Amino acid sequence: MTRRSSATLNAQTVTSAVAIEKAALEVFQARGFEETRVEDIAAAAGISRRTFFRYFASKNDILFPDFDDMLQEFEEWLLALPDDRPMFDVIADGTMRFNRVHSDGVAAHRERMKLILHTPALRANASLQNAKWAGVVSRYAARCLDASPEELGPQLVGQIALGAANAAYEEWLRDESSDLDEVIHRAFVMLRELPDLDVSTRR
């Protein structure tokens, strides 16, 4: 196979996966995630059940398309940055890059995140993906802190960053007039203010 034909095949694969995801989101919104069967998604996408499983192992995986590839891109981006910016500022930028709004627009991205954060059946899958994401952040933090990724400091940074990102998304879903980029960066700014808030509360 030539390089050109391989690139064409990859483009077709991405387009097909996106089309299935778009159809699935519409069905999830109409019927609910747990009530939707793979057959329903396949029918909405105009494909067979067998074709569906060529792209996704289960309906749970639809909301995490290309997650490992995106993680690799995220980590490469972090590694390429110079060490001349505050760590949490960089992680905030990286969080926004990683969670960039889907090509279908803000409404589709909201629906996807609402399902991921609020669907009990997706919690196990989301927890696994979140752990991978926090691991990438911990490895970046280890470089900033001159420590091993397994040490408490980098691990704490990874978990704190994950919590800030999730809190920002919850705020964005709650207030539909809010801007995702602004909310995410505000959440990471607040991380640095929390010790002062604690002192003020006790006083």
Tens-place pLDDT, residues 163-203: 999 999 999 999 999 999 999 999 999 998 877 766 554 55
Tens-place pLDDT, residues 102-155: 556 788 889 889 999 999 999 999 999 999 999 999 999 999 999 999 999 999
pLDDT band at 12 (very low <50, low <70, confident <90, very high): very low
Percent of the chain with pLDDT over 90: 67
Mean pLDDT in the chain? 86
Q: pTM here? A: 0.83
CA angle 174, 175, 178 (to 5 degrees): 135
- Topology of domain 66-202, CATH: Tetracycline Repressor; domain 2 (1.10.357)
Neighbours of 116 (CB within 10 A): 19
Q: What is the mean pLDDT of residues 70-76?
A: 94
CATH 1.10.10.60 domain span(s) along the chain: 3-58
102: left (phi over 0), alpha (psi -120 to 50) or beta: beta
Q: What's at 59, amino acid-wise?
A: K
> How much is the pLDDT for 108?
82
- Topology of domain 3-58, CATH: Arc Repressor Mutant, subunit A (1.10.10)
CATH 1.10.357.10 domain span(s) along the chain: 66-202
pLDDT band at 160 (very low <50, low <70, confident <90, very high): very high
